[in-house]
Amino acid sequence: MKVLKMLVLRRASGFCPGKCRDLSRPCRVRDLSTTASRNTVMPAWVIDKYGANEVLRFTKNMIFPVICYPNEVIIKVHAASINPIDVNMRNGYGARALNMRRDPLIMKDIGQEFPLTLGRDVSGVVMECGLSVTYFKPGDQVWAAVPPWKQGTLSEFVVASANEVSHKPKSLSHTEAASLPYVALTAWSALSKVGGLNGKNCKGKRVLILGASGGIGTFATQLLKAWGAHVTAVCSGDASALVKKLGADDIIDYRSGNVEEQLKSLKLFDFVLDNVGGGTEDWAPKYLKKWSGATYVTLVTPFLLNIDQLGVADGMVQTGFTMGSKSLKHLCQGIHYRWAFFMASGVYLDDIAELVEAGKVLETSTTNLSLTYVSVGQIYK
């Protein structure tokens, strides 16, 4: 009876009913008015089911995000971007695993994730802070990459954990900043968190990047050069000028001939970053220096696909078996084999912002802009 009475009081006072773990602690309410329906709805691009482009729907009645945990902030979106993960999520890729993360106790029915807002990158201004947030304040210009199990950034406002947010580099506009966080954090995760590379141990190391002209590849090239590595980039000929401009030392055009044959004329590598997957995993590791701590890291993994096809339990078992067998196989051949994934981190974004401000990482945001940038202000027109 007390719980029911409390929920009624929350509805009457504008608090968030039923969304917080601690019913005795009310959510903070916003003192904002952004739409005709005061404090309740906002414009956004959403999907109501998985499918092709036609499932995308623009609405002016998406529920306004609220702060339900003390470490959260609400960001007014000035610019967002679209990544391949958004296209794949629109098609339903990873739905089972992501829904498990959204609802670990399986309290909701199938399809309760809809309406779902896509978009991972955001650059904007902090509008409201949770009670325990001290690093940010309303009015701060910030950027972030929101994890894929949360509501996305193709909306007027988005709520994010303060641990996922960082102060935006002053040298970048919101438009430029919105093109960078997701690919930058994915590359940072693969190279540093998983691969163990950093500014102290990377100098002089030979690194091979497969798929070097994409968003992750272009950022990885600049990051590795900032750390002092020698970078060999594999890309198409029409992207070679861009990759060269970003600092690649050697460029291999996969359209001009067999990549394996071209690699035979080069020295062996200390590290391989594979953004392509598929057949590359069969031959790329053999160009690493054996028994020297060399590492192969791939961003193309079967984790989400296994869970989609086999279910959560069987999918995780199959994934563990695949990862374990491949790691053991390559370890016996004298190299380390690793999988890497996107990791949301405001701390990593702080480090990336320092590189941007120093002029060591900038071109990714401007050269990829035409492919990744979507102005939130424009999509409402």
Per-residue pLDDT for 107 more than 80? no
CB 271 within 8 A of CB 294: yes
More confident residue, 140 or 10: 140
Q: Which residues have a Cβ under 8 Å from the Cβ of 258 and sit 6 or more positions away?
A: none
Per-residue pLDDT for 176 more than 80? yes
15: confidence class by pLDDT, cuts 50, 70, 90: very low
Taking residues 182-198, what's their average pLDDT? Answer: 97
CB 196 within 8 A of CB 257: no
The pLDDT score that the predictor gives to residue 108 is 80
Spatial separation of the C-alpha atoms in residues 100 and 138, rounded to whole Å: 33
The residue ranges of every structural domain in the chain are: 41-179+365-380, 195-339
Q: Which residues have a Cβ under 8 Å from the Cβ of 269 and sit 6 or more positions away?
A: 206, 207, 208, 232, 287, 288, 289, 294
23: confidence class by pLDDT, cuts 50, 70, 90: very low
Collapse the DSSP code of 63 into the 3-class scheme (helix H, G, I; strand E, B; otherwise coil) and give the result.
strand
**Would you tell me which CATH number, out of the four given (3.30.930.10, 3.40.50.2000, 3.40.50.720, 3.40.50.150), belongs to the domain 195-339?**
3.40.50.720
Taking residues 216-242, what's their average pLDDT? Answer: 96
Mean pLDDT, all residues of the chain: 87
CA separation, residue 338 to residues 74, 297, 301, 348 (Å): 35, 5, 10, 20
193: confidence class by pLDDT, cuts 50, 70, 90: very high
The pLDDT score that the predictor gives to residue 361 is 87
- Greatest extent of the chain over all pairs of C-alpha atoms, in Å: 77
- Quick: pLDDT tens for 54-68: 999 999 999 999 999
* Consecutive H or E run containing 52: none
The pLDDT score that the predictor gives to residue 39 is 64
CATH class of 41-179+365-380: alpha beta
Taking residues 33-53, what's their average pLDDT? Answer: 78
CA separation, residue 309 to residues 70, 111, 131, 321 (Å): 37, 17, 42, 16
The pLDDT score that the predictor gives to residue 153 is 97
Taking residues 150-176, what's their average pLDDT? Answer: 97
Q: Which residues have a Cβ under 8 Å from the Cβ of 4 and sit 6 or more positions away?
A: none
Taking residues 20-48, what's their average pLDDT? Answer: 59
Topology match between the domains 41-179+365-380 and 195-339: no
The pLDDT score that the predictor gives to residue 103 is 84
- pTM for the whole thing? 0.85
